[in-house]
Amino acid sequence: PPPPPPPPPPPPFHAEDGKRDPESCLVGSEMCIRDRGRGGLNEQGLARFINNQTAIGDWGCDALGHISRSFASLAEVRSYLGSKACNTCVSTPVIDRHGKAAMFEIGNGNDYWEYNPENLQRQQQPLFASPKLFAVRSNRAFTNDDHQEPDAVVAGWPDGSSSKLRYLRARELFSRGITDSDRLTMEEVMAISRDGNPGLEPSAICRASTYHTIWGAIAFGVKSGEDPKYAVMFVALGNPDYSIYVPIWVDLAAGELSAHLKSWSDSWTEANANNIGWWAAKLFDDHFDQSADYDEYLNDLFDDVEENIVFGVKQARRQWLDLGQTGRFHDQAHKLHDWSARAAFETVKAAHQT
């Protein structure tokens, strides 16, 4: 017999109407918050991550996989979303190799809502004026297009909600850091991601409640005219407050990625025992509600390791991009990645065991 007819398409939804789902506060009524995320960096230096998504297609991968496979710039992604060919509901940040960035909320492929740091209307607000150029989102707390702060948190949310407190804290850290130096370094962004004690402070950037943060990622691109293969993504498996960022280049084939960065499960296995994320999760489970002194101790310990990792990456990029020593890029990138993953793994594991 012939196959049954496909289900009818979802009703049209237009982001410009300003309607939002009352539960997730995202564009599209079918959106919900998940306890996982997918993202990555492509060969053209475009990074794409997932905040929230629905199970349309393969976890939204039909559309988002197409973005990663096909596009090199933020403008190309925006054009694709505007064509309404995207078949998913999702909230996803995108940043290209030149640092053009935005957060998109996609509603059933019918339309999207964009948080663009370069929006001229945003820059009229002193808090977000150039050279700051940033946007912040924390669950239901977000920076509106007009940046009118009373509207930055959905009506009905209590002042003490974690979402609002995390939003305000992140906004403060980004604004203050950029004011001090006109830019944020990789180290500063890493430090912001682990600000506060997740178990004791509702304003901590990483969550420690029923839905807690399970990974962090930072994309670092290249200047105009530079080869996008030198763009690097730093990944911290596990709650970033209890993990260490490791550099990954697209040029490294899947077989060359460190075993310390494989996926993990909750139960004890030999593979899990060799994984950064598993030990970071154990560290989180055992210590997330410890004193602020212990949290500060971990942060200092991990900061020292990350400083060495970032220093090595910066030195290598200087050789490749400034001095033109590109012949050993693949070998050097692989060694840096492997050494960084090993150092992160040994540090996180030792922290848990002590």
Model confidence over 30-53: pLDDT tens digits? 223 333 456 788 889 998 887 655
Q: What is the dihedral of CA 184, 105, 163, 53, to 10 degrees?
A: -110
Cα separation, 46 vs 228, in Å, equals: 9
Mean pLDDT, the chain, rounded, equals: 75
Please report how the helices 292-317 and 329-353 are oriented relative to each other, as an axis angle in degrees rounded to 10. 170
Cα separation, 316 vs 106, in Å, equals: 38
pLDDT of residue 7: 53
Q: Is the dihedral of CA 157, 27, 139, 53 positive or negative?
A: positive
Structure tokens at 202: 């509702």
pLDDT of residue 179: 66
pLDDT of residue 150: 37
Residues 142-185 have pLDDT tens digits of 665 554 443 444 444 555 677 778 888 888 888 777 766 677 78
Q: Is the peptide bond before 131 cis (omega within 30 degrees of 0)?
A: yes
Query: Bigger pLDDT: 341 or 55?
Result: 341
> Is pLDDT of 25 > 50?
no
Residues 238-275 have pLDDT tens digits of 888 889 999 999 888 667 888 888 766 666 677 778 88
Residues 284-341 have pLDDT tens digits of 888 766 666 777 888 888 989 999 999 999 999 999 988 888 888 999 999 999 999 9
pLDDT of residue 110: 63
List the beta bridge partners of residue 93: 103
Per-residue DSSP letter, 208: B
Output 117-121 pairs: Cβ under 8 A, ≥24 positions apart. 119/145, 121/145, 121/146, 121/147
Structure tokens at 148: 């009118």
Whose CA is closest to 217, among 196, 235, 198, 239? 235
- Asked if 222 and 97 touch (Cβ cutoff 8 Å), the reply is yes
pLDDT of residue 340: 95
> Reduced to 3 states, what is the DSSP secondary structure of residue 24?
coil
